[in-house]
Amino acid sequence: MTPNPSPQADAPPPPRHVAIIMDGNGRWAKARGLPRVAGHQRGVDALRGVVEAGQEMKIDFLTLYAFSSENWKRPPTEVDDLMGLLRLYLRRELRDLHRNGVRIRFIGEWRRLAVDIVKLIEDAESTTAQNYGLTLVIAVNYGSHREIVEATKRIAAAVADGAMAVGDIDEEVFATHLHTDGIPDPDLVIRTSGEQRLSNFLLWQAGYAELVFMDVLWPDFNKTSLEQAIDEFHHRERRYGATSG
Ligand code: IPE
Ligand code: IPE
Ligand code: MG
């Protein structure tokens, strides 16, 4: 007999990997007559909250799209603000994240960022590498097209060197050459702010993810919003090309 079953005893398990396109910081600020940076600052608060919620909900992998390879097209001052917030986040949060058993991984071409940020990222990854709680994957200077082209080049080089045969290339081998090597594909991709597109995010990996588009602007996203998205996910039927079972 199970003593004191919790009210959520029958709740389905959460998706293993949730990925989020955090969008709408600029519109949040504009609606309040504030500069865009104020939206990004509040966006970091929302990010902190969603990481905590992810831990409470026992999600294994949470991937957050923080800066795309296309976001360099923004005015330099905004890019500086975003990089400044990334610095601040890593400096301020690493200790708590580590204490809570969070493992941190970065995807994207983050090695091309400012040297001090590269150092902070390396430090965050190595400090938390042995943790076995939530894996927080942060996508910075990330773009799927570039990721796929780079994977292709590395595979082509291995073939040219004779280290790999063309016949050895399959989906599994290809996936190990992506930045997400070792990370399961996302089950659920959420995009906030009402936009309904992927903006070059996890194009390979999200091949069979459920997509949930929400009208909430990212700074207003909270645990309840995450629960709503997961509830929607649980109402979807994932068929993977087969017939309904
Ligand atoms: C998301 O908010 C943050 C990043 C893309 C870095 P936006 O800055 O895109 O906000 P909107 O889309 O202009 O409202
Ligand atoms: C996608 O948002 C990138 C991130 C959330 C980091 P954008 O606001 O840059 O995307 P577009 O320009 O609307 O497609
Ligand atoms: Mg946007």
pTM confidence score: 0.96
Of all protein residues, the one whose alpha carbon is nearest to atom 1 of ligand 1 is 23
pLDDT at 1 over 70: no
Count of residues for the chain? 245
Question: What local confidence, expressed as pLDDT, does residue 8 receive?
Answer: 56
pLDDT band at 153 (very low <50, low <70, confident <90, very high): very high
Of residues 3 and 235, which shows the higher confidence score? 235
**Tens digits of residue pLDDT in 105-127:** 999 999 999 999 999 999 999 99
Of all protein residues, the one whose alpha carbon is nearest to atom 12 of ligand 1 is 24
pLDDT at 74 over 80: yes
Question: What local confidence, expressed as pLDDT, does residue 238 receive?
Answer: 87
Q: Is 65 in the pocket of ligand 2 (CB under 6 A)?
A: yes
Q: Are 68 and 144 in contact (CB under 8 A)?
A: no
Delimit the domains of the chain by residue range: 17-234
CB count, 10 Å around CB of 10? 7
**Tens digits of residue pLDDT in 9-18:** 678 999 999 9
**Tens digits of residue pLDDT in 163-184:** 999 999 999 999 999 999 999 9
pLDDT at 41 over 80: yes
For the chain, what is the mean pLDDT?
96
pLDDT at 58 over 50: yes
Taking the domain 17-234, which CATH number applies?
3.40.1180.10
In angstroms, rounded to a whole number, what is the distance separating the alpha carbons of residues 196 and 193?
9
Q: How many Å lie between the centroid of ligand 3 and the Cα of residue 116?
A: 26
Question: What local confidence, expressed as pLDDT, does residue 10 receive?
Answer: 74
Of residues 7 and 198, which shows the higher confidence score? 198
> Positive or negative, the Cα torsion across 52, 15, 148, 153?
positive
Q: How many Å lie between the centroid of ligand 3 and the Cα of residue 57?
A: 27
Q: Which protein residues are within 6 Å of ligand 1, measured from CB? A: 22-27, 67, 71, 82, 193, 218
Question: What local confidence, expressed as pLDDT, does residue 223 receive?
Answer: 98
Q: How many Å lie between the centroid of ligand 3 and the Cα of residue 109?
A: 20
Mean pLDDT of all residues in 8-37: 94
In angstroms, rounded to a whole number, what is the distance separating the alpha carbons of residues 110 and 106?
7
